[in-house]
């Protein structure tokens, strides 16, 4: 299972994208289908300065 972290750049805090999902920002984890048919996890970290983050990968 692949885990992809989407982390806001230049955020005010350091995000833990080392593989765990216990970042201080309380990231949203959702299952996503991989290109080879397997399932992976998309971990969307939240910016703490108010910005919204959009995943644009297709």
Q: With respect to Zn ion, which residue has the nearer C-beta, 39 or 48?
A: 48
* Cβ atoms of residues 20 and 58 within 8 Å: no
> Contact with Zn ion (CB under 5 A): which of 4, 25, 32, 53?
25
CA angle 29, 38, 27 (to 5 degrees): 10
Tell whether residue 15 is a contact of Zn ion (CB under 5 A): yes
Residue 26 or 37: which CB sits closer to Zn ion? 26
Task: Work out whether 45 is an interface residue with Zn ion (CB under 5 A).
Answer: yes
23 binds Zn ion (CB under 5 A): yes
Sheet containing 3-6, strands listed edge to edge, beginning at the edge strand earlier in sequence? 3-6, 39-44, 28-33
């Amino acid at each position: 299972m692949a885990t992809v972290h989407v982390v806001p750049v230049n955020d005010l805090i350091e995000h833990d994208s080392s593989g765990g999902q216990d970042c201080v920002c309380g990231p949203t984890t959702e299952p996503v289908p991989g290109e080879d048919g397997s399932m992976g996890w998309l971990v969307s970290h939240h910016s703490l300065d108010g910005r919204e983050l959009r995943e644009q990968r297709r």
